[in-house]
Amino acid sequence: MTTGGHRLPYRAGVDIDWTFQLHEQLDTHWRHRLRPRLTGLTDEEYFWEPVAGCWNVRRRGEGTAPMAIGAGDFTVDVAIPDPDPAPVTTIAWRIAHVVVGVFGDRTANHFGGPPADYDTFVYAGTADEALAQVDEAYRNWSEGVRGLDAERLARPCGAVEESWEDAPLAELVLHINREAIHHGAEICLLRDLYAHRSPDGPLRP
């Protein structure tokens, strides 16, 4: 068990608060490792394409992928089915995925959050707006997970989760933890690559 990132000694016979454990796994990482690494994100970093053919968030009508979806002035590049190999995606694209596909859709499905789907979402046209969106999306998901009890954690996800219909909600929470940590690490790596880019090319030798 951990509190504020500090591990507490295990004592035999002590009941484990699984809601706390599931929430703390992501929340400690989010507050102490991932979210601080996003501070100061600039618009240039947000839209930066490290290689040719990247998928990005673009002004409506300027998409370069087979499909461009979204409800506002900006759309995201997509294709159905996914191409193989998959294109490199930008920080903007990855944040959009975390906001909509990782947190937003699942918060709507299980915690009564606002509807969130790729086709109708209004994507951020600036880094500051994107960070505000990801903060709100994480806050809504986090509050929902904190409110789960043992019975709800054991309950099947249901038909709203095509790939997780028969899985307990606890398994989906673990999946979302993995997804957020995984995509967060990708975003941080892109920031590192941007910081070490060469004026004559994508990266310094």
Higher pLDDT among residues 63 and 7, named by residue: 63
What percent of the chain has a predicted confidence (pLDDT) above 70? 90
pTM of this structure = 0.90
pLDDT value at position 205? 40
User: How is the beta sheet containing 74-78 ordered, strand by strand?
Assistant: 57-59, 74-78, 67-69
Give strand pairing partners of 58. 75
CB-hemisphere CA count at 13 Å for 167? Answer: 12
Amino acid at 49: E
List, for residues 122-161, the tens digit of each pLDDT value. 999 999 999 999 999 999 999 999 999 999 999 999 999 9
Judged on CB neighbours under 10 Å (0-12, 13-18, 19+), 182 is exposed
